[in-house]
Amino acid sequence: NAGVTQTPKFQVLKTGQSMTLQCAQDMNHNSMYWYRQDPGMGLRLIYYSASEGTTDKGEVPNGYNVSRLNKREFSLRLESAAPSQTSVYFCASSLTTNTEAFFGQGTRLTVV
Amino acid sequence: AQSVTQPDIHITVSEGASLELRCNYSYGATPYLFWYVQSPGQGLQLLLKYFSGDTLVQGIKGFEAEFKRSQSSFNLRKPSVHWSDAAEYFCAVVPNQAGTALIFGKGTTLSVSS
């Protein structure tokens, strides 16, 4: 039972490079999320998708874009990476937006 | 503004001692409430949740939490802490309405001393 799978697990980017973080869930959940975790800041919501075909901004969306590719997959794109985007990124999914979320293992991203 | 507050950034307790981690929320109506735990280098694991009903909820690993509407609180407790409980703990809430998303507190780091 894979749950929520994120790729890659680690990534180093140079300032200005782009990349896409991938996330897939196999629990037939309707809602998916991207969070970033920084020391002392907890988890902050970047974007979420309440259901297939919809996406909404969270608390810290600037510099990011998302795509809900299908019910299983929700990707996060950094078009022009900045050092301020160095963080650990977590993808999560839930049956609906007001049920418990299940988290992936995270992607540690460093922008130099 | 809607918010989740965990007043304690870091707590140290002795192994075998009791534990209480505090969580307060600021929402217009009672939201759905959760506690998650994160071990170093790991993802988040759900400890327990409160949607409605009995205000004392039991979770995994011997944890429990009590919802107090009058205090807008959802504190996490454990009667006897084990060294393996050392981790970061997050309180999270989601409003009781469709289309919103889980919001987290900043977390409390628990250290366990022998």
Categorize the per-residue pLDDT at A35 as very low, low, confident or very high, splitting at 50, 70 and 90.
Answer: very high
The residue assigned the tokens 């366990």 is B112
DSSP 8-state code for residue B29: S
Q: Flag whether residue A98 sits within 8 Å of chain B, measured between CB atoms.
A: yes
Pairing relation of β-strands A10-13 and A107-111? parallel
pLDDT, tens digit (0-9, with 9 covering 90-100), for B55-112: 999 999 999 999 999 999 999 999 999 999 999 999 999 887 766 789 999 999 999 9
Mean pLDDT of chain A: 95
Residue B7 CA, chain-centre distance (Å), reads 12
Provide CB contacts within 8 A for B70, sequence distance 6+. Answer: none
In percent, the amount of chain A with pLDDT more than 70 equals: 99
Provide CB contacts within 8 A for B51, sequence distance 6+. Answer: B32
* pLDDT for the residue numbered B31: 86
Who among B32, B90, B106 is closest to A98 (CB)? B32
CB pairs A-B closer than 8 Å: 64
